[in-house]
Structure 1
Amino acid sequence: MAGAALSLAGVILQVIVRNPLAEPYILGISAGAGLGAVVAIVAGSTALAGIALNVSAFIGAAITIALVYSLALKRGIIMPSRLILVGVAVGSLFAAVTNFLIMTTDAQNIYSILHFMLGSVSAAHWESLTLPTLALVIGLVTVGFKTRAMNALLVGDETATALGVNVSSLRKILLLVTAMLTAATVSVAGGIGFVGLIIPHLTRMLVGADHRRLIPLSALGGGAFLGLCDFLARTLAEPVEIPIGILTAVVGAPFFLWLMRTKDV
């Protein structure tokens, strides 16, 4: 569920900015959701089966998206390169705040926070599936009705508007879905990066840019990829389990650099 949700979030962000480098981790959304969750841990407000943690993560992701979106606007137009740079800066700022909280919190919270930030699904249980599954279903249904509009948006805002797409409204809906998917995933699996970068791009290479095929296959591919990473995390250094976020970064960072060298982004 976590891999599928992160991959879907990557697909959505890439169509919003028309840039294959966009994904929740790179744009700082994961950092914002993580900061919200860490605030909940430090405050000790993880009662009620983790509802407060999830809400805090969602608020952090939503604030990050709103901040990055507003700062990336230039004369009412989103500049893709500007959005990525703003996302990196905002993510770094939130990471600094998170590190400050780690340094000032009680010792018993530090291990939980670090384990959470590095990402892991080792503590998954049936109850923890509820939130990411619900977010994924809502996300798939929502974008499922927007595939033609998303295809039009790839061509450009003017073309999409000429085809009857309300570009401003569409972007707001898609950004809200992205916040929901990212927050739901971060709140249960921690900071797992690059899934939303690698899988959508590989899927696009295989089936093309039509979102009627890209969206469901990316979700399936994201789930399979994160499942494979989890298997490797549990077995490569057995009996020690490697945080899954480390493995996704080892694969994702070189992939990101390769994209920058080979694509006009």
Structure 2
Amino acid sequence: MAAGTQRSASRTRSGVVLSLGLGVLALVVSVSVAVSLGAVHVPAGAVWGILGNRLAPGLIDPFWSKGHTAIVWDIRFPRALLAALVGAGLALVGASLQAVTRNPLADPHLLGISAGGAFGAILALLHTGLFLGLLTVPLLAFAGALGATALVLAVTRLAAATSADRLVLAGVATSFIIMAAANLLIFLGDPRATHTVVFWMLGGLGLAQWGHLIYPLAILLPCGAWLMAHARDLNAMTIGDETAATLGLPVARFRLQVFVLGALITGVMVAFSGMIGFVGLMVPHIARRLTGGDYTRLLPASALIGGIFLLWADIAARRIMAPEDMPIGIITGLTGGIFFVVLLRRKP
């Protein structure tokens, strides 16, 4: 019996490793396609040759032009990596919120966290200025996202909205209030800058730069590692507060920690990509179909699928109206809206 159990566990681990390996391969292929496609097509061989020469100068004799080098290295690689980071971060936040709220519709966009991040970023871009340098926008975006989270929790308590559906309604109501305040900031801001801010609010990755990537990466790695280290606690939260408490988990403190980390990740991602909705709603459900409900597998799968999804959404945004870039938020909003309707139609 013990030997059979060990063999079963070994096969399970092998399956998980194989699935993650295939996911990483799909992510690499998606990055390659995203960097290769555009108004100027760059062959995949040239893409990876340019990358190889940047990492190890002189590794490959160049068979591409200097123009291709500039396009690939200065524009498309940072954009593709930002898409992967933002998609992974939003998916992790969505999966974690769905666990601690026990609500399959929980998502940083629907709960107003993204709106809070947008409010903070707009405040920095139009009114306070970059008084802390590049850190100003992500810090104020985090503060806005954290404030929105606190406001949602306060509204939930004030309205005694204890059910999962009411929590989403509280989040949606809070999101409307915060976006009204954000629109007021835009109205009161410099008219010459508002066009850029409005386009940014629709979601876009076109301003990605190598120097900016350190901020989302520095937040995603430790926060994602913390969430994955507490995957078993997230499993317990999905069963119920009482069960989690009997297992020794400090439920209220853990839920608050997840909300704060979710606000931090969302705020920083929003600061560099604008408002990109529904990734945190859709991706965890897709991951559950593939891996099951165990968060030790669900979290890494969600991160990979989120990065891959946003890469392909960005590819679509660049190709549909080429050579113009469609805001990526339009693609994710359309896809997410349809997915949301399908999710609502499913029987509980």
User: TM-score range, shorter-chain basis?
Assistant: over 0.9
Query: In the alignment, which residue of structure 1 is the partner of 2:144?
Result: 60
Separation (CA, whole Å) in 2 of partners of 1:181 and 1:75: 27
Check conservation: 2:203, 2:328, Cα contact below 8 A. yes
Check conservation: 1:30, 1:61, Cα contact below 8 A. yes
Query: In the alignment, which residue of structure 2 is the partner of 1:45?
Result: 129
Cα drift, residue 76 of structure 1 = 8.5
1:244 counterpart (313, 328, 331): 328
Query: In the alignment, which residue of structure 2 is the partner of 1:231?
Result: 315
Note the residue ranges of structure 2 that are not aligned, 5 or more in a row. Answer: 1-84
Give matches, 1:47-196, under 5 Å. Answer: 47-73=131-157, 78-196=162-280
Matched, 1:33 2:117: yes
For 1:132-154, what per-residue CA distance to the aligned partner results, in whole angstroms no more than 9, with x for missing partners? 11111112111122111110111
Query: In the alignment, which residue of structure 2 is the partner of 1:15?
Result: 99
Separation (CA, whole Å) in 1 of partners of 2:167 and 2:160: 13
- Greater Rg by CA: 2
Cα drift, residue 104 of structure 1 = 2.2
Cα drift, residue 78 of structure 1 = 4.2
Separation (CA, whole Å) in 1 of partners of 2:307 and 2:185: 32
Cα drift, residue 70 of structure 1 = 2.3
Matched, 1:203 2:280: no
The verdict on how the C-alpha distance between 1:250 and 1:75 changes in structure 2, with shifts beyond 3 A counting, is: closer
TM-score by length of 2: 0.73
TM-score by length of 1: 0.96
Matched, 1:4 2:92: no
Pairs aligned (count): 264
Q: Which amino acid aligns with 1:203?
A: A
For 1:236-257, what per-residue CA distance to the aligned partner results, in whole angstroms no more than 9, with x for missing partners? 1101110000000010001111
The verdict on how the C-alpha distance between 1:18 and 1:74 changes in structure 2, with shifts beyond 3 A counting, is: farther
Separation (CA, whole Å) in 1 of partners of 2:131 and 2:316: 32
Cα drift, residue 103 of structure 1 = 2.0
Q: Secondary structure of the residue that 2:341 maps to in structure 1?
A: helix
Check conservation: 1:17, 1:78, Cα contact below 8 A. no
Q: Secondary structure of the residue that 1:116 maps to in structure 2?
A: helix
Check conservation: 1:73, 1:79, Cα contact below 8 A. no
Note the residue ranges of structure 1 that are not aligned, 5 or more in a row. Answer: none
Check conservation: 1:2, 1:223, Cα contact below 8 A. yes
Cα drift, residue 47 of structure 1 = 4.7
Cα drift, residue 20 of structure 1 = 1.2
Over the matched positions of the two proteins, sequence identity in percent amounts to 39
Separation (CA, whole Å) in 2 of partners of 1:137 and 1:79: 32
